[in-house]
């Protein structure tokens, strides 16, 4: 495919791949592949693939006789994904209207995208539509903010030093933490055999500054919040104290990052 991404979009996606993928996302990819029972030779779709860490894991499992597709709304993410894994079929599109034939995949995977879809029920219905009968899906979302570490303190800092909008932007990834609501959402969309498992997860950032600066300069603008330099500096300074208990002897930051994986089947 040809992907029309600007240099800024590609730089932002590279920064995501270099910092956030190893810090948070990579550890969950093998768990989703296992949860969906992905086998050699299968056809697998990764929805909201980002830079493709999960699609790459699926490609390693399905092997040369299998097929993996990755879909995301962001051209920058897809440009980096295509660079890293040219053998996967990358497509730009929306989770709510997947550009694939009904029944065309044995498994559908998606990690840490569902909370951002404007119409989550439509996205689950689409995942079921493109699955073959009895095909499995596995979708990962973060636990609630209250059951996570470091981010509750960072959210409070943003509320105090920037604005309620900035704090809400950092709350957004954690809004699907309620297990019962997650099961209801997926079952109401028509899935069978729905189950949720909660995984411990560990976040590992190179430093407090690297973690918080990426949120301020990378994530907040994606959510439409643009702090000024004075606000950024104030938060970075305060974060050294507020998040200090997560700093290890070598300066890296390590904390619990639990997540739910919801699985189910096309009836
Ligand atoms: C936190 S990232 C996760 C990316 C990837 N799954 C990973 O594990 O690294 C969320 C992704 O969801 C994508 N996204 C958000 N809304 C979307 C939508 N409606 N349809 C498709 N992708 C969407 C974003 O572009 C972003 O790449």
Atom of ligand 1 nearest to the CA of 173: 1
Tokens standing for 241? Answer: 């104290």
Q: Give residue 13's pLDDT band: very low, low, confident or very high (50, 70, 90).
A: very high
Render pLDDT for 239-263 as a digit per residue (tens, 0 to 9). Answer: 999 999 999 999 999 999 999 999 9
Mutate to test the pocket of ligand 1, among 27, 93, 116 (most ligand atoms within 8 A of CB): 116
Going by CA atoms, what residue is nearest to atom 26 of ligand 1? 50
CA of 72 to the centre of ligand 1 (A): 6
- Residue 263, SS3 per DSSP: strand
- How confident is the model over 128-154, as a mean pLDDT? 98
CA of 49 to the centre of ligand 1 (A): 6
For position 219, what pLDDT does the model report?
94
Residue 115 exposed, middle or buried by CB count within 10 Å (0-12, 13-18, 19+)? middle
Same domain, 133 and 212: no
Going by CA atoms, what residue is nearest to atom 7 of ligand 1? 50
Render pLDDT for 38-53 as a digit per residue (tens, 0 to 9). Answer: 999 999 999 999 999 9
Residue 140 clears pLDDT 70, i.e. is over it: yes
- Residue 163, SS3 per DSSP: coil
Same domain, 137 and 264: yes
CA of 94 to the centre of ligand 1 (A): 9
> Which residues contact ligand 1 via a Cβ below 6 A?
21, 25, 48-50, 53-54, 72-74, 77, 94-96, 111-113, 116-117
Compute how many other C-beta atoms are within 10 angstroms of the C-beta atom of residue 35.
22
Same domain, 82 and 115: yes
For position 25, what pLDDT does the model report?
98
Same domain, 223 and 118: no
CA of 51 to the centre of ligand 1 (A): 9
CA of 110 to the centre of ligand 1 (A): 9
The chain-wide mean pLDDT, for the chain, equals: 97
For residue 183, give the CATH number of its domain.
3.40.50.150
Same domain, 108 and 186: yes
Secondary element (H or E) of residue 208: helix 208-214
Compute how many other C-beta atoms are within 10 angstroms of the C-beta atom of residue 261.
22
For position 92, what pLDDT does the model report?
98
For position 2, what pLDDT does the model report?
67
Supply the pTM of this predicted model.
0.97
Report the percent of the chain where pLDDT is more than 70: 99
For position 195, what pLDDT does the model report?
98
For the chain, the helix, strand and coil percentages under 3-state DSSP, each to the nearest 5:
50, 20, 30
Render pLDDT for 62-106 as a digit per residue (tens, 0 to 9). Answer: 999 999 999 999 999 999 999 999 999 999 999 999 999 999 999
For residues 202 and 250, the answer to whether their CB atoms sit within 8 Å is no
20 contacts: CB under 8 Å, gap ≥ 6:
214
CA of 112 to the centre of ligand 1 (A): 7
Same domain, 81 and 150: no
Same domain, 149 and 82: no
Please count the structural domains in the chain. 2
Same domain, 23 and 67: yes
Q: Give residue 107's pLDDT band: very low, low, confident or very high (50, 70, 90).
A: very high
CA of 241 to the centre of ligand 1 (A): 32
CA distances from 171 to 26, 78, 175 (A): 21, 25, 7
Atom of ligand 1 nearest to the CA of 110: 6
For position 3, what pLDDT does the model report?
78
Residue of 38, 35, 99, 42 lying closest to 65 (CA atoms):
42
Mutate to test the pocket of ligand 1, among 72, 82, 97 (most ligand atoms within 8 A of CB): 72
> Residue 46 and residue 155: Cα distance in Å, rounded?
30
For position 4, what pLDDT does the model report?
87
Same domain, 214 and 136: no
For position 128, what pLDDT does the model report?
98
Residue 228: which domain range?
Answer: 145-174+207-251
- For residue 247, the 8-state DSSP code is B
Radius of gyration of the chain (CA): 18
């Amino acid at each position: 495919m040809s992907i029309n991404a600007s240099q800024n979009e590609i730089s932002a996606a590279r920064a995501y791949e270099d910092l956030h993928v190893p810090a948070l996302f990579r550890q969950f990819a093998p768990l989703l592949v296992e949860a969906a029972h992905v086998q050699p030779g299968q056809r697998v779709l990764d929805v909201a693939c980002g830079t493709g860490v999960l699609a790459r894991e699926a490609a390693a499992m399905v092997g040369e006789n299998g097929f993996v597709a990755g879909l995301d709304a962001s051209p920058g993410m897809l440009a980096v994904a295509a660079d890293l894994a040219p053998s996967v079929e990358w497509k730009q599109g929306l989770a709510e209207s997947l550009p694939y034939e009904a029944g065309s995949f044995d498994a559908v995977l998606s990690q840490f995208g569902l909370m951002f879809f404007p119409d989550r029920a439509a996205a689950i219905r689409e995942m079921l539509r493109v699955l073959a009968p009895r095909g499995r899906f596995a979708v990962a979302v973060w636990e609630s903010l209250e059951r996570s570490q470091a981010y509750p303190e960072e959210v409070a800092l943003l509320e105090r030093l920037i604005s309620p909008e900035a704090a809400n932007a950092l709350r957004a990834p954690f809004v699907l933490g309620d297990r019962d609501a997650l099961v209801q959402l997926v079952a109401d969309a028509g899935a069978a055999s729905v189950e949720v498992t909660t995984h411990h997860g560990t976040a590992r950032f190179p430093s407090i500054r690297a973690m918080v600066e990426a949120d301020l300069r990378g994530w907040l603008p994606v959510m439409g919040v643009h702090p000024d330099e004075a606000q950024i500096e104030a938060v970075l300074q305060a974060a050294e104290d507020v998040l200090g208990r997560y700093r290890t002897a070598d300066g890296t930051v390590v904390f619990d990052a639990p997540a739910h994986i919801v699985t189910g089947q096309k009836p």
